[in-house]
Amino acid sequence: MRAPRPAPPVAPRRPTTLRLHGDERVDDWYWLRDRDDPAVRAHLEAENAYTEAVLAPLRPLRDRIYEEIRSRVQETDASAPVPDGPWEYFTRTAEGLDYAIHCRRPRGDADPAHEAVLLDENALAAGHDYLAVGVFSVSPDHRLCAYAADTTGGERYTLRFRDLSTGRDLPDVVEDVTYGFAWAGDSRSCFYVRPDAALRPWQVWRHTVGEPATADVLVFQEDDEHFFVTVRRSRSERFVFVETASKTTSEAWFVPADDPGAPPRVVAPREPGHEYHVEHHWDEERGDRFLVVTNAGGAARNFKLVAAPAVDPARQYWTDLVPHRDDVRLEAVDAFARHLVCTERHEGLVRLRVLSVEDGSAHDVAFPDPAYTVWIGPNAQYDTATLRYGYTSLVAPVTDVDHDMDSHASTVVRTQPVLGGYDPADYVSERIWATAGDGTRVPISLVRRRDVPADGRAPGLLYGYGSYEHSVDAAFRSSRLSLLDRGFVFAIAHVRGGGELGREWYEAGRLGRKMNTFTDFLACAQHLVEHGYVHPGRLVARGGSAGGLLMGVVANLRPDLFAGIVAEVPFVDVITTMLDPSLPLTVTEWEEWGDPRDAEAYRWMRAYSPYDNVRTQPYPAMLVTTGLHDPRVQYWEPVKWVAKLRAHTTSGRPILCRVELDAGHGGPSGRYDAWREEATVLAFVCDAAGVS
């Protein structure tokens, strides 16, 4: 990248000394956390101006990529309809509009004249630079919908209710809610979640439509700051579940949906280390029972499935349905009247196993690609033999499939259109394995054009995450074609700390073993180079949030491996953040990263914290993004990290910071702005790898 004419913005050094456990850390840019300081706002704006100036020569490339992204999208489109009672529900988009339009039509009637618009997010967004809808739920009688909107990116929503016969909002307004919502059976009572001052979901409230929010009733409160609360209704519509969980312990409570005023009852009282998730099943033969995916307090490390009588679901009455398996991670169960669907993970890949309630027989749903992902789609009906699931791979666009659980036949309902003549046969997807320094085999999902040989000349982009037991599965992105068609190899490093290979894979990349996450990623990068997939000087790394932490660590450990790094909303000031319990997420995150007030935890965090380990060396070109209203990773972490990197790099390659002043953790909310942002990132990646 050509040297920029303007000098980068300089944040003055105002040293703050932080002492703990006999260690002294000097933070020259601690002052940037004061968002009310006019000098901070001026610095953020200067960062944006500098980034635009440096990227100005890439504007033609960025514009071409943006047009490529847009040209592949069928801008006026509709999702696969989901049957629910007398209606089919779907969302559609319209060319020129940023947001989804939620609709329904009479079941089996595709006449556009009979379509009804329930909620137009574009209308909600009018006059705002940002919009996110955190709740959208139609009442059981199909007469009302509840929706919650956020217009700042701060993830505090306002809940409203709409009469679907008139299209008008009711007077009910509930301020300051967060994710999680459930209707009761009467279609007037509902349950929602409130956050505390640190944005921790901690209370479940009951609201009655038509009554003021001041009359709402507190149903459940979680006082332990390690726990987050949510609420949902079972697919059977017979129960509402209140769930509270930390990173290592969970607890579920239930309320009969037809008796919303009843006090919640616990399924199994919390025990340290016991994680479980509850679903409800009912049929005439067995009555009401709860299906529980449980690790049995650690005895079933990869989880098992048990049944419990709803009348008394205490643990002593649990009976095994699917036993624990050392090589299979049971992730979830979905209950239908005559079938149970288990979502499992084996050798890093998701699979769906369908169990017959009547005779106990089982079958697996088949998938064609070597690396893919699959998920249970929207299935509003309980008494049905049709399972809607979603499927995608690195070469297959997102596809909605209806699977007949009796005949085992699958029918494609809809495949995401990819315009411009996309042919999956032009690309090849692979699953390969790198070997980490301790001998552990680490899976890599990879895609390239079929005509790009593995001769050590190709540019490459390596993506990683590796935290929270979150699995980054192989999925299609039409925007990625702008790289692949320029000869890039795209790869995902499925590093430890994620959940791809079961619970142990996660445990091996958290707390005191966190360094495995970073060295696994480096092993994957080296494997791509050593086996000729990419050129050693043309590899770019990318990750966001906890994946941005990964980017920060590998930049410090092996800057020579990468021509460029993209770190989006990166969590990079680990110790300082984890010492501040007033920040969102901090207390519950101690179970993921460690509590630095403990000397041993401080020691292992100090060894990798990106901000604390920046040193004088030649860093690669870097593009760092953040959002001013991000409640998950505060804006000052990336901003001061960039200031420190610039003060220490010896390479002369640009280190850029792009600050979304009207967005939060997810970046721009409108799809056109999101495409422009992605085009900017891809143009940076191309330039860093020497591709025009």
The residue behind tokens 């079938």 is 339
Q: Among candidates 369, 368, 388, which has minimal Cα distance to 379?
A: 388
**CA 506 to each of CA 87, 116, 276, 336, 472: distance values in angstroms, whole numbers, following the listed order:** 42, 45, 17, 30, 13
Q: Where are the alpha helices (DSSP H) in 450-545?
A: 481-484, 503-507, 515-530
Cβ atoms of 62 and 472 within 8 Å: the answer is no
221's tokens: 């409160």
- Kindly tell me the burial class for residue 404, based on how many C-beta atoms sit within 10 Å of its own C-beta (0-12, 13-18, 19 or more): middle
376's tokens: 């249970």
Q: Which amino acid is residue 124, in one-letter code?
A: L
**Of 246, 665, 669, 687, which is the active-site residue?**
665
Beta bridge partners of 657: 624
Instruction: Give 208's Cβ-side CA count (13 Å radius).
Output: 9
Per DSSP, the three-state class of 365 is coil
The residue behind tokens 């791809």 is 500
Distance CA 36, CA 51 (A): 23
- Residue 543: count other Cβ atoms within 10 Å of its Cβ: 26
Q: Among candidates 4, 21, 10, 5, which has minimal Cα distance to 605?
A: 21
At residue 640, φ and ψ (nearest 5 deg) are -75, -25
Dihedral angle sign, alpha carbons of residues 353, 357, 358, 359: positive
**Of 573, 630, 669, 687, which is the active-site residue?**
630
At residue 676, φ and ψ (nearest 5 deg) are -65, -40
| Interstrand relation of 386-393 and 399-404 (parallel, antiparallel or unpaired) | antiparallel
Residue 665 annotated in active site: yes
Alpha-carbon dihedral angle through residues 70, 72, 77, 82, given to the nearest 10 degrees: -120
| Helix H or strand E segment including 450 | none
Q: Among candidates 302, 264, 207, 244, which has minimal Cα distance to 506?
A: 302
Instruction: Give 530's Cβ-side CA count (13 Å radius).
Output: 9
Q: Among candidates 337, 246, 316, 235, which has minimal Cα distance to 278?
A: 235
Distance CA 366, CA 686 (A): 37
**Of 545, 573, 609, 612, which is the active-site residue?**
545
Q: Residues with catalytic annotation?
A: 545, 630, 665
